[in-house]
Amino acid sequence: MKLAERLKITNSEDAGGTRKFNGGLDRVISVIAIAMTVYHLYVAIFGLPEWLVHRPLHVAFFLCLGFLMYRGSKKKDRGAGIVIDLILAASAVFVYIYILMNFERLSRYMFMVTKLTAMDYFVIVLTFLLILEITRRTTGWSIIIVAAVFVIYTLYAKYMPPAIRGASVSLKNYLAYMFCVSDGLFGSTVNISSTYVFLFIVFGCFLEASGVGKFFIDFATHCTSGLRGGPAKASILASGLFGSISGSAVANVYATGTFTIPLMKKAGFKNEVAGATEAVASSGGAIMPPVMGSTAFLMADFLGVSYAAICRAALIPAILYYLSLWFMLDMEACRLGMKKLPKAERSEFDWKSFFKQIYMVAPIVVIIVVLLMGKSVFRAAFLAILTTIAVGLIHDPKSMSPKALLKILDDSGRSAVTIAAPLTCAAIVVGTINLTGVGLKLTTIIMRLASGSLPLVLLLTMILTIILGMGLPTPAAYMLVAVFAPTALTSFGVPALTAHLFCFYYAAFSTITPPVAMAAYAGGNLAGAPAAKTGWTSCRLGIAAYIIPWIFTFSSALLLEGSILMIVQSAVTAIIGCYALAGGVQGIFLDRKLNWFMRIVTLVCALCMIISGTVTDLIGLALLAVIIGYVKFFAKRQPTLA
């Protein structure tokens, strides 16, 4: 009998090359996943061990899970491939045991007290190879190529062009630094992955199992049931509510898209529009307070500012983003001739039942309150998880039974692999920058190319962030650029928080930007639409994502800075601008078609209104009057589209 049959392996045909074990080995995976989750919850309560104990253990856990869960290729499992993966998983365990056995000696290296042996270097190289391989399996080649470029630079810096030339580091010194120094391979990026990023993955799994996620979706569906294009608007609300918890836009697409995409298709939306809508809405979850897919905590840690400051600054841009998508889909529904459902056909929302279940939002409230009180993210996440368990017990005791709890812990460990792997691979880049100082050189290059022009610096930073973020979860994409790109912006006088938010937004929306638009491709897969077509449709529907960061860079009022009057003026005119932007892109305004000339006028109006400033607002209002006049008097003979 073949080994795959003995182990009862089911070969899936998805792009990720995942495998499912139906026998005893699946229980082994579950034990590892549960142990991983329990360990991380334990340290959240009782504190972290030494970094050389805690961080490598986090890496060892996801390496073991990853090699057992993900095949090395899309081909069906064969005996040799399974054996290799078992050896790789065992190698991860060996690496961690070796670290524990040599803890004292390895930890003294950073004080230059001890020298490494040949066996040490073998283990270090093995660790690098294991991390690169699991990243390839879960995320693809993009971040591996970036990491390889930085490693090559480190080893051959003295041979590089003058602009980035530096002192080369020998291979032995590089490997030793990356493995034994707290700023290297097991540095801040792995620390972030092993602390609050993992805890919020656990929190998301508890939310879904407890029924809170379904509560959000049901609430969104009922709120939009009578609206034109209701299912698409339900997707916006549901993904905005649920997606803020998830660290992965792709995971959010699958969590809410399995429900919303079929409804959108049934309502009459094209396949690619349904898939793109879910992708754009899911990607926006990363920028929506309060949780922002855990990236808000990364940024707060990086900048040394409070979590509340991040959420405060991100609030209006996130609302503008979702309003723009809402307007886009309303006009798309108008184009398709969709109408509001008559009151007689609408499903009545049971407000009495809703208020009876209002306790379902308690976990989100707990997170906000605890963090605003200045408590640690660890404590906030742990208390939110406990609150979710209590909510689950009230809502459906079976959802929090011992068996169900084990299933949640199991799912949490498994879900962490696809986020922890690229974050750890990103640590190679971050560690290399810490060692060589090449980040300063990259910043200098960006500034030289820009020739003293802030708009050009913004453009180069935007392009670089999108390219580096392709195919990565938002936390990993942000960390790749956060170590050097914002410095170029701050050198032009842009505040540090604004600079980091600028990079963060484009890192988040690399998931809907072709050619590697992972969230869009996931949405297209669920909708049965071509990947490329769904990707470009996502760009069209989410066009505000590419404009808003530019606007808040030049207008701090959108980040809630300045007088109340200035903030209100900026917010109101920006909302009008978002409507005009949707109208210009879709060619519809107040339910009537626009010709190409008026579409251009509408787009100019949109930009003037979104850009804060009295002069631009007045120009925008004048153009808005022209557009309304055209629609009311010159286009009035045309029948309305809805």
pLDDT in tens, 50-105: 999 999 999 999 999 999 998 887 776 667 778 899 999 999 999 999 999 999 88
State yes or no: pLDDT of 355 exceeds 80.
no
Q: Rounded CA gap, 90 and 84, in Å?
A: 10
Backbone φ, ψ for residue 202 (5° rounding) = -60, -45
Reading the block at residue 453, the tokens are: 């022009």
- Cβ(72)–Cβ(137) under 8 Å? yes
Q: Average pLDDT, stretch 302-316?
A: 86
Q: Classify burial at 176, counting beta carbons within 10 Å of its beta carbon; exposed 0-12, middle 13-18, buried 19 or more.
A: buried
State yes or no: pLDDT of 559 exceeds 90.
yes
Write out pLDDT tens, residues 102-120.
998 888 876 565 688 999 9
What pLDDT sits at residue 13? 38
C-beta atoms surrounding 263 within 10 Å: 16
- Per cent of the chain over pLDDT 90 is 40
Task: Report long-range pairs for 632-639 (Cβ below 8 Å, ≥24 apart).
Answer: 635/592, 635/593, 635/594, 636/592, 638/592, 638/593
What one-character DSSP code corresponds to residue 157? G
* Helix, strand, or coil (residue 10): strand
What pLDDT sits at residue 113? 55
- Cβ(328)–Cβ(585) under 8 Å? yes
Burial 505-535 (b: 16+ CB within 10 A, else e): bbbbbbbbbbebbbbbbbbbbbbebebebbb
* Lowest mean pLDDT segment, chosen from 57-71, 362-376, 510-524, 587-601: 362-376
* Lowest mean pLDDT segment, chosen from 58-62, 237-241, 321-325, 491-495: 237-241
- Cβ(586)–Cβ(335) under 8 Å? yes
C-beta atoms surrounding 399 within 10 Å: 21
Q: Average pLDDT, stretch 278-305?
A: 83
- Per cent of the chain over pLDDT 70 is 91
Helices (H), 108-211: 118-138, 142-155, 171-180, 188-192, 198-210
- Amino acid (one-letter) located at 281: A
Write out pLDDT tens, residues 561-587.
988 999 999 999 999 999 999 999 999
Short-list 66, 463, 16, 512, CA closest to 286: 512
- Cβ(86)–Cβ(158) under 8 Å? no
CA distances in angstroms from 430 to 180, 187, 189, 479, 509, listed in the order given: 15, 8, 8, 8, 21
* Helix, strand, or coil (residue 361): helix
Q: Rounded CA gap, 384 and 212, in Å?
A: 12
State yes or no: pLDDT of 525 exceeds 70.
yes
Q: Rounded CA gap, 124 and 132, in Å?
A: 12
Q: Considering the chain, what is the average pLDDT of its residues?
A: 85
Query: Taking the mean position of all CA atoms in its chain, how far away is CA 406?
Result: 26
Predicted TM-score (pTM) of the model is 0.80
Binning pLDDT at 50, 70 and 90, where does residue 163 land? confident
C-beta atoms surrounding 312 within 10 Å: 15
C-alpha angle 184-190-195 in degrees, rounded to nearest 5: 145
Q: Which helix (H) or strand (E) holds 9?
A: strand 9-11
- Cβ(464)–Cβ(450) under 8 Å? no
What pLDDT sits at residue 350? 67
CA distances in angstroms from 263 to 68, 270, 275, 410, listed in the order given: 35, 11, 11, 30
- Cβ(277)–Cβ(271) under 8 Å? no
State yes or no: pLDDT of 376 exceeds 60.
yes
Q: Rounded CA gap, 147 and 422, in Å?
A: 11
Name which residue leads in pLDDT, 191 or 73.
191
